[in-house]
Amino acid sequence: LHIYHAGISNGSMRVRLLAEEKGLDWISHATDLSRQENLED
């Protein structure tokens, strides 16, 4: 499972917490919204 997230996002924090609680294997992809990394391909 790949999770793309921004550190300040409450929604993505909830997803990461749920993945941990469920014991899922997941890979973190932190995105810096101030540098507009979310707009890259």
Number of H helices, E strands in the chain: 1, 2
Q: Per-residue pLDDT tens, the chain, 41 aa: give them.
A: 999 888 778 898 999 999 999 999 999 998 887 777 767 76
The answer to whether residue 41 sits within a structural domain is no
Per the domain annotation, does 39 fall within a domain? no
pLDDT of residue 7: 77
In a domain? residue 28: yes
pTM for the model stands at 0.70
List 28's β-bridge partners, or say none. Answer: 3
- Residue 15 belongs to some domain of the structure: yes
| Domain total in the chain | 1
Q: Indicate whether 24 belongs to any domain.
A: yes
Range of the domain at 23: 2-34
32 Rama sector, left if φ>0, alpha if ψ -120 to 50, beta otherwise: beta
Three-state helix/strand/coil letters over 1-41: CEEEECCCCHHHHHHHHHHHHCCCCCEEEECCHHHCHHHCC
pLDDT computed for residue 9 by the predictor: 84
* 17 assigned to some structural domain: yes
Residue 40: inside a domain: no
The one-letter amino acid code at 2 reads H
> In this predicted structure, what is the pLDDT of residue 24?
97
What is the model's pLDDT at position 41?
A: 65
